Amino acid sequence: MNTTLQITKKWPSSTELGVTKIFSAQRSNLGRSVQFAQKKMSKPVASTSRRSDFPLNARPQWNDREYREGYMEAAIEQGVAWQIKINRKFRYMSQKELATAIGTQQSAVSRLEDPEYGAQSLETLLAVAKAFDCALLVKFISYSELAKGSENLSETDQYAVPYSLDIEQSNV
């Protein structure tokens, strides 16, 4: 039987030590909760039996399939929402301006930026990418890649440079 609980998302920030947000999640029948992002841990002391630099070694809780799948789902649902909000703000766009650019209402953009919403369609994400003039990549990856990616969650890491800036920077 699943019950609602709260999970904590800790986001490193360039201006603060970190930002913490709490979101609803589902507790498994095993009683485990899922945290999307973890603070970057210092490199553990090398072990003779395991590679200490392998990202999964720092996440023993991922041995539990239900936990790691919950983490993956939270990474998608919350990560997409944060990326939309960050990229909109870095482009100095209001929710209404983004809504106009993708042909919807401001309330729909508000839902897209809600980390609890999690129902963004590929069609909508493509429209957002076009409005931001950046690419959208949907790709199956290993859990070690997911672990590596969860170490780079600052706002600047989540910002997708528009094509015009991308090409300008490549010509410098």
What distance lies between CA 93 and its chain's CA centroid? Answer: 20
- Answer yes or no: are the C-beta atoms of 108 and 125 closer than 8 Å: no
Residue 32 has pLDDT above 60, yes or no: no
Average pLDDT over residues 34-54: 49
Domains and CATH numbers, the chain: 3-29+52-170 (1.10.260.40)
C-alpha closest to that of 10 among 2, 25, 26, 21: 21
When the pLDDT of each residue in the chain is averaged and rounded to a whole number, the result is: 79
49 contacts: CB under 8 Å, gap ≥ 6:
none
Residue 50 CB burial class (10 angstroms; 0-12, 13-18, ≥19)? exposed
pLDDT value, residue 26 = 44
Average pLDDT over residues 23-37: 47
* pLDDT tens digits, 92-125: 999 999 999 999 999 999 999 999 998 999 999 9
